[in-house]
Structure 1
């Protein structure tokens, strides 16, 4: 067992950023959501934005204190800037499916278009909405900017859908908790009891894994009962198609086990009935698979023998922005990481700026790089291999919840990052 690190020391390392000045929520926002739906189009080298709609929604689940990220994660970022003062009053990093598609061979041959949704508290004043993308050198570049007038009568204010809601676990005010909405994909109206049971089962196993086992009181969980016409999901490679609420499918990027959806319009319409920070889709199938995208979406099948472990792994991606630590599985990406740039994810490194990662957590007696031999099975070190690459990228341990379906828990480096994200939401 990898030795446990004292949370006190981890928190001291993680939370100095909270001392940075933040905008006053009451000066800038009201406690509702402004949602911007847009298309993210482009190729492997280009990105463009087309706004589809703006909506005012009744619930906002985020912190009223931590509004601007001092150390943004994600391959993209959206910001709100007060037009008068030029002050950034809100920012969030995220990693969309579009960004992964940009690294595929298909993106070199043609344009693609992906539906996106940005959510933030509803502004009181005229603001500028900005979308940025990390370039190959790791720096953010603006790809879109537009003025947002909160008094614009083209901002829709529609009645939210009348779906039944089950509060699986509500521990306090949305602004001081991590709010997760779980949606059912491929469950018919007669299968809603199964959906709720599946959701409860997944939550239970999450809170049995470190470091989530000490944070049950920091989460609110909601299940929204959205029925599908048919059970299951699409499996294009086997010519099997189902009429479901959120149009999920396997064979994403022609990878059989990769389970995703692009129907973010339907997903966010369904989620709007509760306050939420993160959305998790449970897919009613026994086929192995899932996907997770930071501050965007997590999705997993429920009836495969490894479904519970996949649920935890994908939440590591979607909620905490953790990278995959495996390096030998077949993926559709090429040149995913620039080896001359330090990755933004906390649990991998190219050694360009290893001091900013877990260098100070490694015992002096542990060799760097650390051999992948049995002697170092339970040691925190510097192991070559990670981020889909056998060479040039390093990960913290021999095996972790972000590498394989073996371990039950996350490694100390992943735990540190998860702790940071939880506290960010709950302050």
Structure 2
């Protein structure tokens, strides 16, 4: 149940190359789908271009095109080949980069699918993909060109679309954030069950601020990606199912970590349907889930904690929020003590001024001891030790939050501010 990203002030870009532009200057109303393989081990990582595809519509942002709202673990930059101007940027995290911190990565070389969506350029463009390690140093780079007239760019999404229905429409795709809720482990006769579960996920999301007050900036579509089997794979029980995106528990041998490496399959199911962010519902009552920034949320639909967990995981995949819980005395390989994490809701205090220092009441001690008054438990902003899987040396904004425990009724004020900034970046 992982990952996240650092929120930046709105209107600011990372690095040089920002200039005034309109969407129509460099792009047509189509999507360029980029499929890559991230590969390697703990010592060396690499990026391989797998396939390029074109989708019939662009559902992403049409402004702030050369800016980043979140830093992420990696970045894609598109430049106009003729002028060298940066015309689009996006950021992400990946399951591969999490795996690099696992023991297996020290002895085995593996490859992971990754897919990203960018607007379709009018003219030849140069694309640069960068991966960064836990110290935020560049660990792998790929530069390649895209010629929009290339006959080998795969055309997708023009024929029969996966069955779908809209659960909420705040407006047109060019003005709203399009979220697709997908089925995983729902057999042919379970479509009604899926649409019911998707409606619950939608309701749970809009019960939380800031999604509630900014509901009209979203479109939610439920997509029935049919599976051959009902249920999902649980390797520790020797249960393997044939499902739409081949998800399974026990990722990195963690019982509750539910993910999929079949990322291309996710996007193939969605081809032709406007989408930017993805929630995958697993047809099981086994507890678990996972959320990867700008990749996907995957969570179980029939556990009693379904509602809080789907919102928590969407906090990762959409909002770039870190886990605020802690279970280990040693520092996580993802968060060195001498590096300020790029997640907006945790800090090592190395550069706390870049986080929520401005939200502290005057006189608040840093670090802050937990409040005895439970009335303030979710709203009193301080600097509380224990976050990012580590009990010592990493700090969170409040004693409890949706990103820390399932019982928390809300996102803390710091997470709410970060989420609202992200929503406004995409829609204003």
**Alignment-derived partner of residue 171 in structure 1:** 170
- Give a deviation string over 1:291-313, Cα, whole Å, max 9, x none: 00000111100000001110000
**Alignment-derived partner of residue 393 in structure 1:** 394
Instruction: Give 1:21 shift.
Output: 4.0
Instruction: Give 1:85 shift.
Output: 1.4
Instruction: Give 1:213 shift.
Output: 1.5
- Give a deviation string over 1:238-264, Cα, whole Å, max 9, x none: 101111111010000000111000111
Aligned partner (choices 130, 133, 137) of residue 132 of structure 1: 130
Aligned partner (choices 9, 12, 15) of residue 10 of structure 2: 15
The answer to whether the Cα contact below 8 Å between 1:298 and 1:314 also exists between their aligned partners in 2 is: yes
Separation of aligned partners in 2, 1:41 and 1:201:
37
Does 1:278 pair with 2:277? yes
- Give a deviation string over 1:360-397, Cα, whole Å, max 9, x none: 11011322110135247352100111111111111100
The answer to whether the Cα contact below 8 Å between 2:277 and 2:296 also exists between their aligned partners in 1 is: yes
Separation of aligned partners in 2, 1:141 and 1:91:
19
The answer to whether the Cα contact below 8 Å between 1:161 and 1:270 also exists between their aligned partners in 2 is: no
**Alignment-derived partner of residue 88 in structure 1:** 86
- Give a deviation string over 1:71-103, Cα, whole Å, max 9, x none: 542101111111121111111110111111011
**Alignment-derived partner of residue 211 in structure 1:** 210
Question: TM-score, length-normalised on structure 2?
Answer: 0.93
Question: What SS is found at the alignment partner of 1:144?
Answer: strand
Instruction: Give 1:337 shift.
Output: 1.0
Structure 1 residues 160 and 338, CA gap change in structure 2 (3 angstroms): farther
Separation of aligned partners in 1, 2:160 and 2:326:
43
Question: What SS is found at the alignment partner of 2:101?
Answer: coil
Separation of aligned partners in 2, 1:359 and 1:103:
30
- Give a deviation string over 1:8-42, Cα, whole Å, max 9, x none: xxx9x943439x74432111100100111121101
Question: What SS is found at the alignment partner of 2:326?
Answer: coil
Counterparts of residues 173-188 of structure 1 (less than 5 Å): 173-188=172-187
170-179 or 21-30, which deviates more: 21-30
Does 1:65 pair with 2:81? no
The answer to whether the Cα contact below 8 Å between 1:130 and 1:142 also exists between their aligned partners in 2 is: no
Question: What SS is found at the alignment partner of 2:113?
Answer: strand
Instruction: Give 1:160 shift.
Output: 4.5
**Alignment-derived partner of residue 152 in structure 1:** 150
Instruction: Give 1:162 shift.
Output: 2.9
Instruction: Give 1:273 shift.
Output: 2.5
Structure 1 residues 345 and 35, CA gap change in structure 2 (3 angstroms): same
The answer to whether the Cα contact below 8 Å between 1:14 and 1:416 also exists between their aligned partners in 2 is: no
Separation of aligned partners in 2, 1:99 and 1:330:
22
Structure 1 residues 106 and 142, CA gap change in structure 2 (3 angstroms): closer
Instruction: Give 1:138 shift.
Output: 1.9
Question: What SS is found at the alignment partner of 2:155?
Answer: coil
- Give a deviation string over 1:123-150, Cα, whole Å, max 9, x none: 0111111111224432446511111111
Separation of aligned partners in 2, 1:114 and 1:195:
28
Structure 1 residues 357 and 334, CA gap change in structure 2 (3 angstroms): closer
Separation of aligned partners in 1, 2:159 and 2:314:
26
Question: What SS is found at the alignment partner of 1:91?
Answer: strand
Question: What SS is found at the alignment partner of 2:12?
Answer: helix
Does 1:323 pair with 2:349? no
The answer to whether the Cα contact below 8 Å between 1:320 and 1:421 also exists between their aligned partners in 2 is: yes
**Alignment-derived partner of residue 309 in structure 2:** 310
Separation of aligned partners in 2, 1:39 and 1:160:
27
Separation of aligned partners in 2, 1:273 and 1:289:
30
**Alignment-derived partner of residue 249 in structure 1:** 248
Separation of aligned partners in 2, 1:147 and 1:63:
22
The answer to whether the Cα contact below 8 Å between 1:381 and 1:396 also exists between their aligned partners in 2 is: yes
**Alignment-derived partner of residue 4 in structure 2:** none
- Give a deviation string over 1:307-356, Cα, whole Å, max 9, x none: 1110000000000000000111799x941112212111100111111111
Corresponding residue pairs, total? 414
Does 1:238 pair with 2:240? no
Does 1:382 pair with 2:383? yes
**Alignment-derived partner of residue 417 in structure 2:** 416
Question: What SS is found at the alignment partner of 2:308?
Answer: helix
Instruction: Return 5+ residue gaps in structure 1 as ranges.
Output: 1-10
The answer to whether the Cα contact below 8 Å between 2:19 and 2:66 also exists between their aligned partners in 1 is: no
Separation of aligned partners in 1, 2:142 and 2:106:
22
Counterparts of residues 74-85 of structure 1 (less than 5 Å): 74-85=72-83
Instruction: Give 1:226 shift.
Output: 1.6
The answer to whether the Cα contact below 8 Å between 1:385 and 1:394 also exists between their aligned partners in 2 is: yes
Separation of aligned partners in 2, 1:185 and 1:273:
19
373-382 or 25-34, which deviates more: 373-382
